[in-house]
Structure formats: C-alpha cells, structure tokens
Chain A
Amino acid sequence: MYSNKYIFLYASAMVVIVAVLLSVAATVLTPFQEKNVRIEKMQNILSSMSIESTKKNAEDVFAKHIIESKVVNYLGEAIPGDAFEIDLLEENRKDISLRRLPLFVATLNSDTLYVIPLHGAGLWGPIWGYVSLKSDLNTIMGANFDHASETPGLGAEISTPVFESQFTGKKLYDNNGVFRSVKTIRGGADVSDNHGVDGISGGTITSNGLSSMLEQGLKVYEPFFKKLKDI
C-alpha cells in the first residue's frame, strides 16, 4: 500500500518531468515549425499567381517575383508595415478606419500583378486565401484557398486545384464599373458568368463563407484600386 505522501510526491515529480520535457521539445522544434508556416505562406501566395515552387526554392522564387509587400489603409494610402507579417484575423476585427490592409505587388513575365490576402469563416473554422489580380485590377489571375478544418471531400474541396482554377479569368467589376466580386453559385455557374464559379455540393456553408470572404475582403481595396487606376 502506498502512502498519501508517496502518491503526492510521485504525481508532482511526474508532472514536473513531463513539463520540462515538453517545454524543451517545443523550444527546440519551434524554429522548424515557424519556417514551415512561412514557406507554406510563400508557396500559397506564389500559387495564387500559378507560379510553381517547391519547399526548397520557395524563398528564392518569392524574392524574385514579389517586388513589394506593402500595407494600405481604407483610403488606399500606403502606410508603413510589411504585408507578410500582418495577421488578417486580427485586422478584420478592427474598425475599417483602423484596418491595415496587406497587399503584395508581383512581377511575372513583365506584367504587374497584385496579390490580396483574404481571411474569412467556413463551416467549422477559419478559411483563408490569396487572390491575384492582373494589372487591370479587375481580372483574376488565379486564387489559392485553404482552411483549418472544413469537412474532407466537401467544404475542404475549396483548397483543391480544380476548384481554385475556376477563378482564373473571372472579373471583379461588371461592364458598368460596379463592384460585383465573385460568388459561388449553387447548382453550378453559367460558363458566360464573369462573377460566378460552381459552388461545392454538400459544402454550401463553406461556399457561402468563401463568397462573403471574397466580397468583404476585396471591397475594402476599392479606394486603392481607384487611386492606382487614376494615375
């Protein structure tokens, strides 16, 4: 039979040992994990412009194509900051006038592209992505989406190339210059529809979340687009 004292000592000692072990492991492994997250982000940004990259060369390719990582405010004015370090989840909680909007300017085949990071809500958790616009600031060059915990085979399909490739060539503005964004259409979008892509069967809530993420996330850049077009 064990005494209470022994049980208490045993439990305390065990907890301390395990705590030390896990802290050491976390400290040692954190740099690797952060690097993975950074590289994945770079690869996602590049892939929204259909630029292929591998884990090894992502940093070089990123440096080669991205010429500016800037931050703008709701009036479209450039403010100091690095687009790469901005946490969109945090920014989206702020009032629009305080929001810092990240933006990447890239060059590909001597064309200038604008990559806009987006963050929204899916069914089970956050969804996020990058949309790249051609230099007319209207036509979508490509898109890349990802999610934390959408249902595999249903909502999770938003991160598949099949779904993402639908966005290429879609337009943000209609012929009258009105902002229309791009929406997912239940039951499938018409081929001639410049503002719609096929929604995901069985993933309606994720699809709707994606639509509103696109609309809200892109609309705030309108002043910036206007400024750039006026120049």
Chain B
Amino acid sequence: MSDNNIQKREPLFSMKNRRLLSNPIGKENPITVQVLGICSVLAITVQLKTSLVMALSVVAVMALANVIISLLRKTIPPRIRIIVQLIVISALVILVDQILKAFVYDVSRQLSVFVGLIITNCIIMGRLEAFALSNKVWPSFLDGIGNAAGYGAVLLAVGFIRELFGSGSIFGYKVIPQAFYDIGYVDNGLMILPPMALITVGVIIWAHRSKDKSLVDVS
C-alpha cells in the first residue's frame, strides 16, 4: 500500500471545521439571516436569565441531536427520516425538561412550556436534515454547537436589550440608578411585550446587514 492511499487525517480544528462553528454565529446566523426559530425569541427574551438557560438548553439538544443523527445516518431509511429526527429531538427535549425541573426548578418554572417547544424549533430539524444526515460525527457536532450558539447569541442580545429597557435590570440586578427614576425616567413597558422582541430582532437584522453587505439580496 502506498502512502498516497492513506488519507491524511483532518485536524480537529481545521479551517473547515472552525468555519462550521463561526459561520452560523455571523454570516449564516439561523435567526438574523435564515429567520428561523423566531417564536421562541419573542417568547422568552423578557429576561436575560431565561434567555441564557434557553440558549444552553438549545445548545445541548442541538449538539446531541446532530451527533446521534450523524451516528445513525447510514442506517436511517430515507422514507421515515423525518420521524426519526423528530423522535430523537423530542426524547432529548423531554430529558432536558426533566433535568431542569429536577435541578433548576425556578428557571424551569419561568421557561414553562417553551422548553417543550424546543421540539418545534425549526433550526434544530433544519440542521439535522441539511447537515447531520450527510456528514461525519465531529463536523456535525461542531455544526450543532455553532448554530445553537448563533441562535443563543441573538437570544442574549435581545434579552439584554429587553431587560435593560423594559425592567431596568440585567440578570435581575437593577442597573439603572434610582436617581434616573427620580428625575422622571420610566421603564418602557412595551419592551416586556412580544412585539418589541420582533422589532428588536428586526433592528439587529438591519444592523447585521448594513455591516455585512454580502448579506443584502440585490436581485
């Protein structure tokens, strides 16, 4: 056997693999570019804490789902692949929900139904279908982490803006000094309502596109 036949092993963090992680945070962001998973962004970004737990839960579910589907990819009959993906995601989400209920009970109370609704987060199924079904385990894992991080980054940005202007606090700590309120500053009640989340996401998309012109569709 000549040396040429032995494929050179790709380093764990090759250029290509690093792109899997970084692209979804910027250029291929699932929320601001692909506009997926919007409903959960609207629902749970009133506070930073819930945004953070939601982001972490999605990271866990997405990374594991991608790995499992990638492991099974050669055995899954194409005709029932959507069902298989759904079952894997649902099982993981139920696990995450149960673990949150057992160990971080108060946060799980705040997230309430939205943990269960991770199942319907189209980003997760989108990545399984588009990436994990046709790629090896390690790249799939990175792709899952990257996309979930891209989702989480937007979630945290929106949560930050909404909590700061809606409740005057960050992670529950008051940051706007009492003196401001004394001279007539009022928390913006509109920020607490879902429509403002949509507007905030819109502003983030606008900022993102005006910074990266290649995202603007000129056709």
Complex A-B: 13 CB contacts under 8 Å: A2-B77, A10-B77, A10-B84, A18-B87, A21-B91, A21-B95, A22-B94, A25-B95, A25-B98, A26-B98, A29-B98, A152-B192, A153-B193
Determine if B1 is an interface residue (Cβ-Cβ < 8 Å).
no
Determine if A14 is an interface residue (Cβ-Cβ < 8 Å).
yes
A7 touches which of B80, B102, B103 (Cβ 8 Å): B80
Judging by beta carbons under 8 Å apart, are A32 and B75 in contact?
A: no
Instruction: Please give me the residue from chain B that is nearest to A157 by CB atom.
Output: B192
> Chain A's interface: helix, strand, loop or mixed, by majority?
helix
Chain A contact residues (Cβ within 8 angstroms of B): what range? Answer: 20 to 34
Chain A, residues 144-165, CB within 8 Å of chain B (1/0): the string is 0000110011000000000000
- In the complex, how many angstroms separate the beta carbon of B189 from the nearest chain A beta carbon? 7
A40 touches which of B76, B84, B105, B193 (Cβ 8 Å): B105
Judging by beta carbons under 8 Å apart, are A153 and B102 in contact?
A: no
How many angstroms from the CA of A33 to the CA of B91 in the assembled complex?
A: 18
- In the complex, how many angstroms separate the beta carbon of A25 from the nearest chain B beta carbon? 6
Contact residues in A for B80 (Cβ distance below 8 Å): 7, 10-11
Determine if A166 is an interface residue (Cβ-Cβ < 8 Å).
no
Judging by beta carbons under 8 Å apart, are B101 and A29 in contact?
A: yes
Given contacts A10-B80, A22-B94, A153-B189, 11 further A-B contacts (CB under 8 A): A2-B79, A7-B79, A11-B80, A22-B91, A29-B99, A29-B102, A33-B98, A33-B105, A37-B105, A153-B46, A153-B166
Given contact pairs A14-B84, A153-B193, A36 touches B102 in the complex (Cβ within 8 A): yes
Determine if A15 is an interface residue (Cβ-Cβ < 8 Å).
yes
- In the complex, how many angstroms separate the beta carbon of B125 from the nearest chain A beta carbon? 16
Instruction: Please give me the residue from chain B that is nearest to A26 by CB atom.
Output: B98
Contact residues in A for B106 (Cβ distance below 8 Å): 40
Contact residues in A for B134 (Cβ distance below 8 Å): none
B101 touches which of A7, A21, A36 (Cβ 8 Å): A36
Contact residues in A for B91 (Cβ distance below 8 Å): 18, 21-22
Judging by beta carbons under 8 Å apart, are A152 and B98 in contact?
A: no
Chain B contact residues (Cβ within 8 angstroms of A): what range? Answer: 20 to 34
Contact residues in B for A29 (Cβ distance below 8 Å): 98-99, 101-102
Judging by beta carbons under 8 Å apart, are B95 and A152 in contact?
A: no
- In the complex, how many angstroms separate the beta carbon of A6 from the nearest chain B beta carbon? 6
Chain A, residues 82-101, CB within 8 Å of chain B (1/0): the string is 00000000000000000000
How many angstroms from the CA of A65 to the CA of B80 in the assembled complex?
A: 59
Q: What 10 A-B pairs have minimum CB-CB distances, sorted nearest first? A: A153-B192, A32-B102, A36-B105, A2-B77, A29-B102, A18-B91, A7-B77, A33-B101, A29-B98, A33-B102
Determine if B83 is an interface residue (Cβ-Cβ < 8 Å).
yes
A11, A21, A22, A153: residue with the most chain B Cβ atoms closer than 10 Å: A153
Chain B, residues 66-87, CB within 8 Å of chain A (1/0): the string is 0000000001111110011001
Determine if B113 is an interface residue (Cβ-Cβ < 8 Å).
yes
Q: Which of B173-213 contact A (CB under 8 A)?
A: 189, 192-193
Determine if B112 is an interface residue (Cβ-Cβ < 8 Å).
yes
Contact residues in B for A33 (Cβ distance below 8 Å): 98, 101-102, 105
